[in-house]
Amino acid sequence: MTVGVFLFSLLGAMSLGMPIAFSLIICGVALMVFGGGGLDVDLISGNMINGLDNFIFLAIPFFMLAGELMNAGGLSRRIVYMASTIVGHVRGGLGYVTIIAAILLGALSGSAIADTAALAAILLPMMRKVGYNPERAAGLIASSGIIAPMLPPSMGLVMIGAIGGISITKLFLAGIVPGLMMGVALVGTWWWVSRKESVSLMPKQPLSEVLRSLKSGIGALLLPAIIVGGMKFGIFTPTESAVVAVAYALFAGCIVYRELTWAAIYRSFVNSAKTTGVVMFVVAAAFISSWMITTADLPGQLAGMLAPFMDSPTELMLVIVVLLVIVGMALDFTPMILILIPVLLPLIKQAGIDPVYFGVVFIMCNAIGMITWPVGTVLNVVSGVGKLSFDTVSKSVLPFLIAEVGVALLLVFFPKLVLVPLQWFL
């Protein structure tokens, strides 16, 4: 019955058009009243305030600010140019440029939406000009953009670590290899779907130009190396690495590339503050429903429903992956984390599954949901930037979507693909 109240209140509020933050509050209130405790306003406000009283959450505004400063400071554009000079001249070259640039940009910002918007604005006109099918190109850009949440400094991994009490450093390091696996899967898929396209090839750049682009882009490439290296060797925590990222983005934009103006810095602070305000209010609201989920023993009831799979970690993970992909078609990225992590994490621990491994698979499935119909946040971004039909882009993304779902299933059946590299990084 508690599961029914949870689903009815949450989905009912969302179907009425309520923002997700208020839907989560309604859900928490419904569970509170159903449990016989009545409406306690002090309990609601206390959970919202106490939930955010966590040093880890400082990483979110700082990483968001770092991403804004990187885009304004020209780092994104240099990453794309560097990739184009290296592989832009081969058949399907701009597609490979998209994938490489997405991985590098993901390691700078960790934001699928920001990276996809940048890639679509820069690369989609170029791919149109030389003759690529624009819908297929948009599908590739969208599926490449969702690699970002897998790589440090992923906001999704930060939220999972904070809400689930999991080491964010381990989550960051564990996501690197699966993120690269997604890139490799896209390379193979792009080779297959683009092999018959008749396009004008970009001229091969001389070695001097390649070296010049590498020299120009090395400043951007140093940032992920600093973040990952600093956490691996214990120099700073994930939250401290976010501050380092902001400092480095300011240094690179102002001193190295000299493209950051005072007006651009101001806009970056304002944009990141607005985004942070929205995200953190949703997170605060989620702590109400999360507390009530625990109080009402919703995980215990769900464990009873999944009892046939509890003795087999692989079967349980397979069921959860299918569930996440389906739910991801309707729910956005952040609500998925805030709603499902408090419900699923106790089950995962009870089944003996490594929480870090689960967190990485969860984020991958969550990211895949960003390119699925009918919500498809990242698909909407690409469609808007490229002025393309959402329906046609949704169809064109299908082969890349299948490839990334295949990677997720590979991680389900072979957990060591996550855990062995993690041990090496640690």
* pLDDT at residue 377 tops 70: yes
Q: What would the mean pLDDT of 346-353 be, rounded to a whole number?
A: 91
For residues 174 and 228, what is the distance between their CA atoms, to the nearest angstrom?
Answer: 11
Per-residue confidence band for 36, with pLDDT thresholds at 50, 70 and 90: low
* pLDDT at residue 7 tops 80: no
Which of 247-256, 374-383, 392-401, 408-417 is predicted least confidently? 374-383
Q: What is the largest CA-CA distance in the chain?
A: 74
- CA 191 vs CA 106, 185, 197, 205, 274: distances in Å: 22, 10, 10, 21, 40
For residues 52 and 50, what is the distance between their CA atoms, to the nearest angstrom?
Answer: 5
Give pLDDT tens digits for 278-307. Answer: 888 888 887 777 777 777 776 667 767 777
Per-residue confidence band for 82, with pLDDT thresholds at 50, 70 and 90: confident
For residues 285 and 34, what is the distance between their CA atoms, to the nearest angstrom?
Answer: 19
Q: Per-residue b/e over 198-234, b at no fewer than 16 CB within 10 Å?
A: ebeebeebeeeeeeebeebbebbbebbebbbebbeee
Give pLDDT tens digits for 106-117. Answer: 888 778 888 888
- CA 198 vs CA 141, 168, 201, 412: distances in Å: 19, 45, 9, 38
Cβ(343)–Cβ(293) below 8 Å: yes
For residues 66 and 223, what is the distance between their CA atoms, to the nearest angstrom?
Answer: 10
Give pLDDT tens digits for 134-187. Answer: 999 999 999 999 999 999 888 899 999 988 889 999 999 999 999 999 999 999
Which tokens belong to 30? 């419904």
For residues 223 and 244, what is the distance between their CA atoms, to the nearest angstrom?
Answer: 9
DSSP 297-326: THHHHHHHHTGGGTT-HHHHHHHHHHHHHH
